[in-house]
């Protein structure tokens, strides 16, 4: 269970002592983006200055907004590279990053720089790809994060807790954007069984 840090006594003139990194990870359909949006909205309610980013290649729901599977949305800035974040975050208090697995390998270093500047950095992304292997910069991000929340979906085959994103189409491309037409959440057993898995 994630316990949000205690911000009692927070003051912007001392914020360089208060930076940290939070990672929200899990399979597809586990609620990662929903949780990211929730935390960012809470920060805005607290009148903190928030900047939000997503990779420019993710155009599934909207060109600019970060949108969850439940259609909750929050405005963001699409970027081609992680380094670009440093150009937009000068006076903000909180940085939100969605679909972190699609950013380049510079992302962990960028997040560390932002945290060192006193910013709260909240990152959401897939921890494993469709082959069940660590995805992009996510392992390095999890290593340097102060807080990690792993969310789970429900296996679409048997109903157990799901941690894997099973690809339903034959493509072997590392990056294949899609939703329920291309992927479904699966537990370890049903993921390993692949097409042989039988629905209950």
What is residue 88's three-state secondary structure? Answer: coil
Q: What angle do CA 187, 59, 80 make, to 5 degrees?
A: 105
- Our answer to whether residue 99 is catalytic in this structure is yes
- Distance set, CA 110 to CA 31, 100, 123, 135 (Å): 25, 12, 12, 17
Query: Which helix (H) or strand (E) element contains residue 41?
Result: helix 32-45
Sign of CA dihedral 35, 125, 157, 191: negative
Choice among 83, 99, 146, 173 that is catalytic: 99
Dist. CA 200–CA 187, nearest whole Å? 13
User: Using an 8 Å Cβ cutoff, are 141 and 115 in contact?
Assistant: no
Give the side-chain half-sphere CA count within 13 A for 81.
Answer: 7
Integer Cα distance of 198 and 18 in angstroms: 49
The distance in angstroms from the start CA to the end CA of the chain is 30
Which residues are annotated as catalytic? 99
């Amino acid at each position: 269970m994630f316990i949000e840090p205690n911000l009692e006594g927070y003051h912007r003139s001392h914020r360089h002592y208060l930076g940290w990194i939070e990672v929200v990870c899990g399979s597809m359909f586990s609620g990662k983006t929903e949780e990211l949006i929730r935390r960012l909205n809470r920060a805005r309610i607290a009148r903190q200055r928030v900047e939000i980013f997503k990779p420019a290649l993710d155009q599934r729901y909207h060109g600019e907004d970060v949108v969850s599977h439940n259609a909750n949305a929050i405005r963001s800035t699409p970027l081609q590279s992680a380094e670009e974040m440093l150009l937009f975050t000068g006076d903000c208090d909180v940085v939100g990053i969605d679909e972190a697995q699609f950013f380049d390998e510079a992302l962990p270093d960028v997040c560390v720089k932002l945290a060192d500047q006193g910013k709260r950095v909240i990152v959401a992304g897939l921890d494993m790809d469709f082959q069940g292997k660590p995805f992009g910069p996510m392992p390095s991000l999890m290593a340097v994060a102060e807080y990690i929340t792993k969310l789970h979906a429900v296996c679409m085959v048997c109903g157990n807790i799901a941690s894997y994103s099973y690809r339903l189409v034959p493509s072997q491309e590392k990056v294949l954007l899609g939703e329920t037409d291309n992927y479904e959440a699966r537990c370890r057993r049903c993921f390993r069984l692949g097409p042989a898995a039988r629905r209950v």
